[in-house]
Structures are given as structure tokens and as C-alpha cells.
Structure 1
Amino acid sequence: MNQAIFNEMIDRISNENILNLVVIKDGEIVVDYNKQDDYKGKRFKINSCTKSIISTLIGIAIDNKLIEGVHQPISDFFPELRANDIEKRKKDITVYHLLTMTSGISWPEFGNWEFISGLVNSNDWVKFILDMPMEHSPGNVFNYSSGGSHLLSAIISRATGMNAQKYAQKHIFEPLDIKNFIWMSDPQGNSNGGFGIEMSAYDMAKIGCLYMNKGKKGKDSLIPEYWINESLEPKILVSRSLGHYGYQWWIKDLSFKETTHTAYFAMGNGGQFIFVIPSVNMVAVFISDNYDDSFRPIYYMKKYLLRMF
């Protein structure tokens, strides 16, 4: 590790609202930064990193043949969509469209947190989402949607007979020894699929390492390798600054001078990140309190972490 680059990075982040930074390189923790001593191992809201865990659970449910596949219509899980007065475009939405945020359902989330408050305060989140009008045909336009992610969570509930929290505990959390977490639910008991988890940076890093290792923990396969590969394939270009979107994971080439590495990451509002960089066998987790610049950790990855080793 280049000590000079490391020292410069720590000097910079200590003056910002980055609360935790955990970096695992070649299977070992090489950076373990906590802005305050009592932040070490503390649970924080990981916001939309929750979405990437929901994607994982969808893949496990498909592998267990509880969901037919990504092209299964969501009306199989929400029979209310089969009613005669439901617009055909809404009936055409599939699991794939929810995973890639191309459902076409109107969802004015970006920069409109009052709208999200309407969801959270509703008596039936699934109904609130499904009652939103269609804005585009499914598959045509990317629109960031915690509502779509919550529908995926409700699908997990209906397909598996247990909510996403319990399904995650059975298939991921218990095998990874993740115990110190909270997962908020809606009034019907569906785990909040868009932004509901609180956990520590160390446990987030365990999930990142699971993706780095193609779904395996030791000899045990917790996530099908084909699902990880499929999830991390770029499905739609969102923007030059954010890159592509896969199945509730982001994909972006991070470049600094002449060096470029492909990063796969879960991203939450405020600066919560799980970065997976296979080319250098690195997982990096940021916990931040920076709602004015949620993307700040991307800068630190490019300027410091990818030059440090």
C-alpha cells in the first residue's frame, strides 16, 4: 500500500462527513477508518444499498424455482393487475422491468422526498405503487424507483412465503454471520425493498466479498454464479456520471489518468456504497452523512483507493 496516498486520503476524509471506510484487499482488511471510535461496528441506514440485496434474493428465489424467471409477469404475484380496467402496459410489466427500473410506472422520486413520504405514510405500500399511472411502456425508459424495488420485495414475500428479511436471514445473513441489523417493513409485513436496512460497514463488506467471490463463501454457494454475472451486466446507460444499471446494481468504469477499472456498486442516498472491483480484488464500503453530495465516494475511489495498491 502506498502510504503517502493513504495518508492524504485519510487527511481528506477526516474533514468530511464520511463516517466509516472499510477496504478489503485480497481477502484482508487493509483500511478500517472510523470518524469516531463509537462508529466502529455501528449500524447505519444503508438506504438504497437495500435494493442490491433485494436483487440477490430475487436471484436465489429464481434458482429455487419459486419465481419462474426475470421475464415472469408481475401480475402473477399481483392478481389485481389482471382486472379489465387495468391498462395493458401495466399488465405487461415483468420482474426484469422492476430489476432494471424500466417498468414505465410514473415515479417522481429524484429530488422529491415529499413523494416518498406519501409512500411511507400510506396504509398499503403495494397498492400505492400499483395505483400510480403508467408514464412509458415497460422496457423503454430508466426511471429510478424505490417503488419498483419494494414491489420486488413483495414478490419475494408472495413467492417464498416469508418476507425478504427472513429470506435473507436464511440464505445470506446467517451463513455470513450477519446478525446486527434492522430491516423496516410496510404495514403488510413486506420488508422495505427500497431503503429499509440498517447494518454496519463490516456486514456490508461481507456482502461485497460474496459478490467478489461469485456468490461463494468457502465451498458453499450462497448466490448462483450465473445470477451474479447476469446482475452485473450493463443493461441500460443511465448517465455518463453514474454509468450503467444492471439488476439493482450500478456498473461504471472508474478512470484516473491512464488507469481504468470496472466497478460494480450498490449505492445509497447520503453516500452509502458497496464497491466491488474484481480487477484488483478489492471491496470498499463507505458509510457517509453527505446528503448534499451522495456521489462523493466515487471520487475517493478514483483519486485514492485505486491508486493506493
Structure 2
Amino acid sequence: MNWPAFQRASSCPVGDPASLSRLDEIIAAEFSNITGIVAVKQGSIVYENYYNGFAEEDKQHVASVTKSVLSALIGIAIDKGFIEDENAKVVDFFPEYALDELDVEEQRKDITIRHLLTMTAPHPHDDWQEPLDQLCMQPDWIYYTLSRLGQLGEIGDFKYSTAGAHLLSAILTRSTGLSAREFANGHLFGPAGMHIIPDFPMEAYGFDELFGQGVRGWVHDPGRYSTGGWGLTLTTRDMARFGQLYLNRGRLENKQIIPESWVEKSVAMNPNQYGYLWWLRNEGGIQSYSALGDGGNMICCLPELGMAFAISSTFMINPRDRWFLINDYLIPALS
């Protein structure tokens, strides 16, 4: 693809050749499931390499990086008037469900889109032990999640929930009449020069189709809502393109694709170190915000350096934190 304002630097890769030459050895020894790395600096690709048989046009399931993409879509939908704002009440988007008949906490009625974006809505699971297998066995993922929303905890307390992110996808569809995949193609992927995601109807909802080798395009639930918390496939370049868009405060040349105010709110530091479906970090004086997914998929943006790093990976349990690779090797080599 010929992407304006997102080309290889004329001397790509740039930086310290000795440091870059050690990268392959370090990756093989400590980050063996990485499939691609694209580093962008001031709008140009300054480093790009692929591993484990992957190449530039290969798409990877990016797992929870999907959440950060969905955050952008919510911001775009608000800007275009499909959703009033992030203070809208979640239950108001699902009037056909008889939620008042359920014996659950009243606080469910007070949960807003903002609470889902910031992972501050109560859910009835222990921290980091969400039963996604139970969600995926339901005929109606939306009713299942809504029926549990508001239990075990208080509004405002951080609790990571992938099911909560899926509700955001349903809200987007209820508001726009389009799936998250369709809305992204028209309002984010296409305008930003990323690959359009085709429709791949799902014939089964097993582990392979939802999480494994069978993931294609953007996974959807039995109601055809695009999965909000995982299930999106992107090339490593598309991941970097998305990161660069945030570095540019949502703007590509003369096009404001994501509202600038939404980008600012999404990555503003707070005590939870979690923005609008973005992880926030301040370490060693370096501020960053990242989209993170299982296996080590990562889009890391460092605004003070004008750099974004995209790292795609196959799934593995307990991969090494990609921040060490970025901070200890890539930044020194490419600065």
C-alpha cells in the first residue's frame, strides 16, 4: 500500500547498526513468539522486520488491542452524533431486555459508557479471572453480560472486563445500525489507509474460531455483534498506522479521523493508569500509552519522542513484557 505521510525513511532502518544487529538474537532468545515489528518516528517507518514466517501483508489476531480500536470507534460515533456522549447510560441502549425483573444491584442503572471505557463498572468475577468461556457458550452474549453488570463491587473501582468492552460494540451497533467492523471500515480503517476488514460469517463458536487459528477478519457473536474485547486481525503496519494516528491526535494530513478531544481524554493519565481502553505508563521519565493484547501484541506510543511501536505476536502464556524490548533496545537503537 502507498500510504501518504507514512513511508519508510530513506535510510530505513535508521539508528545504531550495532544495536539493531542484536535485535534478532534478543528476539529469538527472549521474545520468540513475535511475528512482526514496525517502528514509526515522526510519521515514517524507521524499522520493520518480520519473524516466524510472517510478512508485511500477513494479519495477526491482535487480541485485546481490539479494545483500543473500539474506543476510537466510540469517539468517532459520538463526534458524528450517533451517541450523545460517554455519559449515556448503558441500559438505555437495550430497552427490550427485561432487566428490571432481575434480582441484581440497582447500580446497574447508573453505569455509563465511560465506566465501560475506563473499566470502572462492577462485574461479578474476581480480578483477572473473568469467565470468558461462559460468555462464549451463551446464545445471547449481550443479555448474559447485562444480567451480570453491576454486581460484586462499586462503580468507580477498576475491574478489567472483556465482556464490558463487548457491550460497547453492541452500543455502537445499536446507535449506528452498523457492526463495529462495518463502522470501522467506513470511518477509521478506510480513511486512515488501513486494510478494510471483510466479512467472514462464522459457522461455529469454538475456541479455534473465537481465539485460535480460525480467527479471521473481525470475530462476531451469535447476534453478529463484532467482538468488542478481542477478535480483530490487523497487519503489523496497520497496528503502527493506528498508533501514529493517535500520536497525530487523530489527524491524518488534512483529515481529522478521530476527534482530537477524544484522543486527549483517552490517554490522559489517572490513578488507575488506564484511559479509554488504553494502558498508561510513566516509567523512567518516559510517558507512554499502549494497546495491549494477549501473547504480547502491542501498540506503544511515546508522544515525547514522536515514536510508535507495533509488535504483533502469536499467542503464548506469560510472554515477556514488550516494554523491555522497546525501552532497552528499540528506543536506544532508533533515537
Same fold (TM over 0.5): yes
Aligned to 2:155: 138
Aligned to 2:307: 282
Aligned counterparts of 1:306 and 1:38: Cα–Cα separation in 2? 23
2:61 aligned with 1:48, yes or no? no
Aligned to 1:240: none
In the TM superposition, what is the alpha-carbon distance from 1:105 to its structure 2 partner?
A: 1.7
- SS of the residue corresponding to residue 174 of structure 1 reads helix
- SS of the residue corresponding to residue 69 of structure 1 reads coil
Q: Give CA-to-partner distance per residue, 1:81-128, whole Å, 9 cap, x none.
A: 66254531111111111001111122347256xx21221221111111
Aligned 8 A contact 1:82 1:91 in 2: no
2:16 aligned with 1:2, yes or no? yes
Task: Report the number of matched residues.
Answer: 296
2:122 aligned with 1:104, yes or no? yes
- SS of the residue corresponding to residue 203 of structure 1 reads helix
Structure 1 window deviating more from structure 2 (213-222 vs 171-180): it is 171-180
Aligned counterparts of 1:47 and 1:57: Cα–Cα separation in 2? 17
Aligned counterparts of 2:87 and 2:184: Cα–Cα separation in 1? 22
Letter in 1 for 2:116: L
- SS of the residue corresponding to residue 12 of structure 1 reads helix
Aligned counterparts of 1:282 and 1:54: Cα–Cα separation in 2? 22
Aligned to 1:11: 25
Aligned to 1:159: 175
Aligned 8 A contact 1:267 1:273 in 2: yes
Aligned to 2:277: 248
2:79 aligned with 1:63, yes or no? yes
Aligned counterparts of 2:241 and 2:222: Cα–Cα separation in 1? 30
Unaligned runs of 5+ in 2: 1-14, 198-216
Aligned to 1:196: 231
Aligned 8 A contact 2:64 2:229 in 1: yes
Aligned 8 A contact 2:189 2:196 in 1: no
Aligned counterparts of 1:137 and 1:117: Cα–Cα separation in 2? 24
Aligned counterparts of 1:36 and 1:159: Cα–Cα separation in 2? 41
**CA RMSD, 1 decimal:** 1.8
Q: Give CA-to-partner distance per residue, 1:3-30, whole Å, 9 cap, x none.
A: 2222222320133221111111122211
| Alignment counterpart, residue 292 of structure 1, candidates 309, 314, 317 | 317
Q: Give CA-to-partner distance per residue, 1:259-302, whole Å, 9 cap, x none.
A: x3111110001100011111111110111235333452111111
Runs of 4 or more consecutive aligned structure 1 residues displaced over 6 Å after TM superposition: none
Structure 1 window deviating more from structure 2 (172-181 vs 88-97): it is 172-181
Distance 1:270 1:172, change over 3 A: same
- SS of the residue corresponding to residue 24 of structure 1 reads strand
Aligned counterparts of 2:234 and 2:135: Cα–Cα separation in 1? 23
Q: Give CA-to-partner distance per residue, 1:237-257, whole Å, 9 cap, x none.
A: 2xxxxxx100000110232xx
In the TM superposition, what is the alpha-carbon distance from 1:131 to its structure 2 partner?
A: 1.9
Aligned 8 A contact 1:142 1:236 in 2: no
2:143 aligned with 1:127, yes or no? yes
Letter in 2 for 1:106: P
Give the structure with the higher percent strand: 1
TM-score, with structure 1 as normaliser: 0.90
In the TM superposition, what is the alpha-carbon distance from 1:180 to its structure 2 partner?
A: 5.5
- SS of the residue corresponding to residue 245 of structure 1 reads coil
2:262 aligned with 1:222, yes or no? no
Structure 1 window deviating more from structure 2 (41-50 vs 79-88): it is 79-88
Distance 1:177 1:214, change over 3 A: same
Distance 1:271 1:38, change over 3 A: closer
| Alignment counterpart, residue 174 of structure 1, candidates 190, 198, 203 | 190
Aligned 8 A contact 1:129 1:147 in 2: yes
Q: Give CA-to-partner distance per residue, 1:126-164, whole Å, 9 cap, x none.
A: 11111226011211x111110110000000000111111
Distance 1:283 1:126, change over 3 A: same
Distance 1:180 1:75, change over 3 A: closer
Aligned 8 A contact 1:184 1:196 in 2: yes
- SS of the residue corresponding to residue 300 of structure 1 reads helix
Aligned 8 A contact 2:99 2:147 in 1: no
Aligned to 1:304: 329
TM-score, with structure 2 as normaliser: 0.84
Q: Give CA-to-partner distance per residue, 1:35-74, whole Å, 9 cap, x none.
A: 1454332111100000001100111111112211111111
| Alignment counterpart, residue 51 of structure 2, candidates 18, 32, 35 | 35
Aligned to 2:248: 213
Aligned counterparts of 1:108 and 1:166: Cα–Cα separation in 2? 34
Q: Give CA-to-partner distance per residue, 1:174-227, whole Å, 9 cap, x none.
A: 112323641011111111000010111011111111111111111010011000
